[in-house]
Amino acid sequence: MEPAAREADVLKPLPPTPATPAATMKQRTAAMEAVEDIVYGSVAGIVGKYIEYPFDTVKVRLQSQPDHLPLRYRGPLDCFAQSIRADGFLGLYRGISAPLVGAALENSSLFFWERLGRAAIYASGYAPRDQPLPLSALWMTGAFSGAMTSFILTPVELVKCKIQVPETEGGVVRAPLRPIPVIRDIWRHQGLRGFWHGQLGTFLRETGGCAAWFGSKETVTKLFRAWNDGRDGAARVRSAKVDDDEALPLWQQAVAGASAGMAYNFLFFPADTVKSRMQTTPIGEAPSQHRTFAAEARALWHQAGIKGFYRGCGITVLRSVPSSAFIFMVYDGLKKHLPMS
């Protein structure tokens, strides 16, 4: 065939169906990446939840102490001791079934929306498609991911918080609550809207916290890559993307993940404290009696000042070190070694 004829054939418009192999491959790749985000994010979230849950139970109990009564716990260690004396060590895992589902939903949603955020930024022309996103953009994709995930997470955390905090009746601690009865009671007393009680607190925590979670992880990863290049004496250009072909050493992955967890939990901890107080109000209480986010924050300020907003912060940041490290290590490891393509 003559070159001119070949050129004419190339310029002919392609029929709408069937799809070209390249287009089909691109669609398949995008679909597989979405499935990987959901499956591997779920696995990573479940692993992290088993590690952190006892510490989370103590954190919620410290945060939710009523403002009109003397403090029940003197601090994290006292809360651990009282909880173990009352319910045994397994009592610290009370209500973990709902959070396991929540952890799977949360982490799969975070990684899924973060990837969509990256795609949206590339589509906007903010950065060339053949270049890694700058760190500022990665912080933005984290914020977007957290904002979207907050709407999924609030109902799960509402059920979790109500189960974690022991209810008393006439000075006697009632039997532990179960997820299904709690869900049924919320529906009966408050309807569908009741499941999003505390949404503002979750939104603030997740939007700012996830910006710090993804942003800190990417920032520390980039610093480690630059350090590795300098140490090896190699002037190589590396990608800042999560799916970089050459993974960091495990200890560096762990440090990057741990730094992400500490940044997430510390920076927006006051919002989480107010949310926990809102979500541990008695189920039968009328919605008109529920405090708003601002009213709950004012009540806490009058009770304990700035220290009240950081009850349980130390133990929360501590528990985030291993859990967040494992979440990123498991997720990145599965994405690299078990690609679904």
| Rounded Cα–Cα distance for residues 161 and 275 (Å) | 10
Please count the CA atoms within 13 angstroms of the CA of 221 that sit on its side-chain side: 28
Q: pTM above 0.85?
A: no
Burial of 229 (0-12, 13-18, 19+ CB in 10 A): middle
Residue 180: what pLDDT? Answer: 87
Residue 334: what pLDDT? Answer: 87
Query: Which pLDDT tens digit goes with each residue over 69-88?
Result: 778 888 888 988 998 888 88
Could you tell me how many residues make up the chain?
A: 341
Query: Which pLDDT tens digit goes with each residue over 292-302?
Result: 899 999 999 99
22-36, 62-76, 268-282, 284-298, range with the lowest pLDDT = 22-36
Burial of 300 (0-12, 13-18, 19+ CB in 10 A): buried
Please count the CA atoms within 13 angstroms of the CA of 175 that sit on its side-chain side: 4
Average pLDDT of the segment spanning 31-48: 86
DSSP element (H, E) containing 296: helix 293-304
24 has pLDDT over 80: no
- The domain segmentation of the chain, as residue ranges, is 34-164+174-231+239-337
Residue 249: what pLDDT? Answer: 87
Local structure of residue 289 (DSSP, 8 states): G
Query: Which pLDDT tens digit goes with each residue over 140-177?
Result: 999 999 999 999 999 988 988 888 776 654 444 555 67
Matching CATH number, 34-164+174-231+239-337, of 3.30.1050.10, 1.50.40.10, 2.40.160.100, 3.40.50.1970:
1.50.40.10
The two structure tokens encoding residue 291: 């405090």
Which residues have CB under 8 Å from 199's CB, separation 6+? 150, 151, 154
Residue 235: what pLDDT? Answer: 46
The backbone region for 312, taken as left when phi is positive above 0, alpha when psi lies in -120 to 50, beta otherwise, is left
